[in-house]
Structure 1
Amino acid sequence: MNAANRMAYDTLVVGGGIAGLQAALDLADQGFRVAVLERGASIGGKMIRLSKVFPTLDCASCITTPKMASAAHHPNITLFTACDLNTVTKTGGRFKARITQRPRYVDVAKCIGCRQCEYVCPVLVPDAEQGGFSARKAICIPFSNAIPQKAVLDPEHCMLCGKCEKICPTQAVDYLQQPVEFVLAASSVVLSTGYEMTDYRDKPQYGMGAIPNVIDALQMERLLAPHGPYNRVLRPSDGKEPDTIAFVQCAGSRDHSMGVGYCSRFCCMYAIKQAMLLSGSLPLAEIRIYYMDIRAFGKNYEQFYQNAKAMGIEFVKAKVARIDAAEEGRVRVRYEDQLEGGALDAEHDLVVLSMGVVPGWNPRGIISVSCHTDQFIRQVQPKRQPTWTDQPGVFVAGAAAGPKDIVDSIAEAGSAAMQAANYLKAAAAS
């Protein structure tokens, strides 16, 4: 097979999270050649970072890791990680994607994942994969079940001591590696670019970033995960087990003044899940959820909510106005009680912000699909054909089209794969 054919695929899947992997596997199992483009150093998306999933409380890694491995070993799937999508243009029924491969400063063809470079590296930096609660080396494999199991060097923190290069048994470390641009051709595209959490570090009313014991939901996922930073739940400021924990719902969501006027849909359920897991790991802790409305929209979700109340988790219908630091590392929550009325204060050892979600990627200027005002990709027939965009041959799946949970993302990915397969078969027959 020549180089041109190696860069020609039936479908380009943009995003290697759970939706992208499901779409890629469904297409590849039908015999289509699929390229999966991921901007991170590993596939797996947000789901591989979670502890458990609601409402079944199944292990998130136990679900995601087999799909990651299947995609990595599937003969019809090619993974492109640490890549940026620059432009996608359509000519004569074919899409041409211009992509930049960012340097890992490690030759992936030579790297055998032995981690010797990681062991000898003297530089420790906060590990974002663990919510910033623990440290990683300046050169390392991103996390234990990352795919591909290849090291990545962080040039911002590397001090060029040369220890990793000297110990590498395959001479894979390359300090002079440069970005590489290349072109992929595909007959269809599936956009599964996911979401990011809203970041309100510049909004003082939530104390995020300024108060050590105010964390976001993804950081709590790492504290709860069996492969997390502490193997137990500890508050960040002093390593103490929290006695009182609060969840603040709609932190920045459903608030036009904060820029996110919509409901992010699944925040209630992941907060209830985390509260139930905390109740199991810290049985003596008092757990409270400040909520505006409970959105229990899926199968068995209402029962999940009722189970949480039966476990003793306190639900307070309130709008939180401000969060401030208190004495001895505690956090003061000022809120308006929407049932009893009046402004009240409460202090907690740890506060978790249930942040809303925003699109993980903006397609403007890259691919000709339209978006809503909130920048989620527009579905032209959201009821009948939820995976269609206004560009023939381009389909959308998962949270790229709007906030949705894992179950809906996987179902939508299967639909996108079916629509892409039908499109490819129709194009081949014409």
Structure 2
Amino acid sequence: ENITILTYCEVQQVSRGGEGFTARISKKPRYVDEVACTGCRLCEYACPVEVPHAFEGNLGARKAICVPFANAFPQTALIDLDHCLLCGRCEAACPTGAIDFLQEPEEIEVKAGTIVIATGFQMTPMEAKPEYGLGRLRNVLDPLQVERLLAPHGPYGRVLRPSDGKVPEKVAYVQCAGSRDRSLGVPYCSRVCCMYAIKQAMLLAGALPLVEVTIYYMDIRAFGKGFEQFYQNAKAMGIEFVKAKVAKNTEDAQQNPVVRIEVMEEDGRVEERTHDMVVLSLGIVPAWQPDGVLSVETAEDGFIRTPELKIAPTRTNQEGVFVAGAAAGPKDIPDSIIEAGAAALEAAAYLKRTRRTSYTDATGSANCAPSTAVQAGCP
């Protein structure tokens, strides 16, 4: 009961004043009454419009009205007016009368004593390396699309390549496809790419026992606890690791991706290898910029700057504003969880400092008043 979750919202501006912060939030219209909606999906079944499903990496389809994805919170439908025909079938099918085409954006004001920024990350845009063919070659995928293919409730129910529904027999991963590249403005290592590629390669080998998986890499950076052993296990499973630079991807007449590489560990020869499917290990870039919203500094890489990285990695340049997870820079799930706990403790400590004034009574013992003003005695 102490937690309020605002979904389908966007923070417009955060201002500081008095004892804390005031956040001005815009709640976007769902065109569905959240209280009345039961999540039965009868409206979704009645809708005649199908559009590519972004959650499925555009490999599947959704309706113009739908619950955004299987595990969405809340399980409330949402109308995409950009594709809605306004035919009224969803309204007729809804058993609770939850459809409301007249909903308007709602302005919400939230007062808070402290702020934790946890805006996550996004992948390098697919147009960043046009020579790799992502978005142009149908069987060149990004890692999030492969996650959905591997999911038991994914778009196809099993691993199939998008162009023709064929079970892939040869799959390649191209490492550093969006990291360690100054031409993209992403000179840093994204930290997670090597391990998620190895994880997916092992899952593919488990789902498709006859598949041949090749990982083209510049360096394997398996720096975390148990990561080196994970890497060795993948090699023991038969996954091929080729130290090479990938120049470009093309395709043959059967839409099989053709990878042009320079082999680095041998004689530096240039060769082309054909695969059924290629996965680009994209890098991590910031998902949100605070400009005009919150006065915190960003670092050269665009992530939230943490001035005391070694001793207080969740503090920002603004007192009372903390950061956690990939908002501060690329990191994996365990590191993000640890940082989230650290940010929560920092926020709690800040609230205690600012909202409870310590003083010493006549006996010399420390006592606390429940507000910022010193009171005559403790309650």
Q: Give the TM-score, by structure 2 length.
A: 0.92
Distance (Å, rounded) in 2 between the aligned partners of 1:139 and 1:337: 49
SS in 1 for 2:233: helix
1:380 to 307, 324, 341: 307
Per-residue CA deviation, residues 173-222 of structure 1 (Å, 9 max, x unaligned), is: 11121111121100000000000001132642110111000000000000
Bigger CA drift: 411-420 or 163-172? 163-172
Kept after mapping to 1: 8 A contact 2:128/2:184: no
Q: Which runs of 5+ in 2 are unaligned?
A: 358-379
> Larger Cα Rg: Structure 1 or Structure 2?
2
Give, as a single letter, the amino acid of the residue that structure 1 aligns with 2:304.
I
Partner of 1:416: 343
Distance (Å, rounded) in 2 between the aligned partners of 1:203 and 1:178: 39
The structure 1 segments of at least 4 consecutive aligned residues displaced by more than 4 Å after TM superposition are none
Give, as a single letter, the amino acid of the residue that structure 1 aligns with 2:209.
P
Distance (Å, rounded) in 1 between the aligned partners of 2:342 and 2:178: 32
Percent of paired sites with the same residue: 60
Per-residue CA deviation, residues 388-424 of structure 1 (Å, 9 max, x unaligned), is: 0010000000000000000000010000000000001
Give the helix-richer structure, 1 or 2.
1
Q: How many positions carry a matched residue from both structures? A: 356
Give, as a single letter, the amino acid of the residue that structure 1 aligns with 2:221.
R
Distance (Å, rounded) in 2 between the aligned partners of 1:204 and 1:356: 15
SS in 2 for 1:319: strand
Matched, 1:362 2:289: yes
Matched, 1:219 2:145: yes
CA RMSD of aligned residues (A): 0.9
Matched, 1:304 2:230: yes
The structural deviation recorded for 1:279 is: 0.4
Give, as a single letter, the amino acid of the residue that structure 1 aligns with 2:191.
R
Partner of 1:200: 126
Matched, 1:240 2:240: no
Give, as a single letter, the amino acid of the residue that structure 2 aligns with 1:213.
N
SS in 1 for 2:262: strand
Matched, 1:161 2:65: no
Q: Which runs of 5+ in 1 are unaligned?
A: 1-74
Distance (Å, rounded) in 2 between the aligned partners of 1:268 and 1:312: 17
Matched, 1:405 2:365: no
Distance (Å, rounded) in 2 between the aligned partners of 1:351 and 1:334: 12
1:426 to 339, 353, 358: 353
Distance (Å, rounded) in 1 between the aligned partners of 2:8 and 2:69: 15
SS in 2 for 1:351: strand
Distance (Å, rounded) in 1 between the aligned partners of 2:130 and 2:116: 39
Distance (Å, rounded) in 2 between the aligned partners of 1:146 and 1:158: 21
Q: Give the TM-score, by structure 1 length.
A: 0.82
Matched, 1:267 2:193: yes
Distance (Å, rounded) in 2 between the aligned partners of 1:292 and 1:225: 29
1:143 to 69, 73, 76: 69
Distance (Å, rounded) in 2 between the aligned partners of 1:96 and 1:257: 39
Kept after mapping to 1: 8 A contact 2:139/2:163: yes
Distance (Å, rounded) in 2 between the aligned partners of 1:391 and 1:206: 41
SS in 2 for 1:336: strand
Matched, 1:288 2:214: yes
Give, as a single letter, the amino acid of the residue that structure 1 aligns with 2:92.
K
